[in-house]
Amino acid sequence: MAKKKIGILTGGGDAPGLNAVIYSIVRSCHEKYDLIGYRFGYRGLYNNDFVPLTVESTSGILHKGGTILYSSNKDNLFDYAEEENGVVVKRDRSDVAVANMKKEGVEYLIVLGGDGTLTSARDFARKGVNVIGVPKTIDNDLSSTDTTFGFDTAVNIVVENLGRLHTTAESHHRVMVVEVMGRSAGWIALHAGIAGSADVILIPEIPYTVENVVKKIKAREAIGKKFTIVVVTEGAAEKGGEAVVGRVVADSPDAIRFGGIAAKLANDLEKHVDNEVRHVTLGHIQRGGDTSPADRLLSIRYGVKAADMLEKGQFGNMVCLRNGAMDSESLEVVLGSSATGSTSMGLSKRVDPSCELVQTAKSIGISFGD
């Protein structure tokens, strides 16, 4: 008898660990199922563009960042942009995807992605597709799971770069303002800032004032420390102000792209301190390169759990990590009950300003500009 077939896709921004999840799903399922991977996320599902996934074709990908299936964050098939007579119109093309799956005999779909990608996974589940979600984001801001894969790698990369910036900051008595990813959640800045010996950590959950950051810089000068490292989340904002928007990508589910807060803050600080102030935006460096060992382990656990859920018929759910153990949660719970086709940012997990980690940072002298 022919094996039943599983489709896998990766959507949204890339994150270290995607390949490790694919690797573990293939190795967990290959004896009983045939597997294919849709290229470029939901676009591949729409165009029926896929490649076979075998033990041989996925050999050697465990450690690699990125995704061998490629990715896209602009292809919501429930609100798909098409050009007609020179005008861009949006239509629900989800039925095309379902028809393509039936044509190829794909009975199960495993979706690796963040809130936007998993919102579409939820919507396909509502159409009767046997879907399982796997949470992915370096920002660690998805609800219902303690940790997302890719986060640990991003933190490691930021910490490594902070170490490099420390030496040049100290040599030139500079203030270095380092912008990191995270959107509206400060997890990367918080973890990397503490581990990377930052002096100031600015996160979206705790509005800052320039005056309080200046106070920290001058307090360090008073004890002979004539340099300062400031780590700031891209979505952080001054008290009474708004996050700095770098650009707007109109055809993306997440149209607002933060960026530029480090440059703004550096300009603001130079008006009040004697130091030369430089700014650095780490950007996509945080997503690149090899996957950390911790993320490899976590990704393998996510992949094996997804395979187990498929075997048990637990569709319409997302794999999650709770209190150190693998578990699952309904996509409806994770993402809320917005209408099919609408963009959902899910129930975002943000830093609690009163949490133990923030208090720990303050106890060792780190300022949050508040």
Active-site annotation, residues: 139
The kind and range of the H/E element at 233 are strand 228-233
Contact 346, 318 (CB under 8 A): no
d(CA 262, CA 264): 5
* 305 phi, psi to nearest 5 deg: -65, -40
CA distances from 158 to 103, 355, 366 (A): 45, 22, 17
What's the token pair of residue 124? Answer: 């396909």
The residues pairing with 89 across neighbouring beta strands, listed in sequence order, are 82
DSSP conformational letter for 1 = -
Helix residue spans in the chain (DSSP H): 18-29, 42-47, 94-104, 115-126, 151-172, 187-195, 210-222, 261-270, 293-311, 331-335, 356-363
Q: CA nearest 233: which of 179, 302, 271, 155?
A: 179
Cβ neighbour number for residue 161 with a 10 Å cutoff: 18
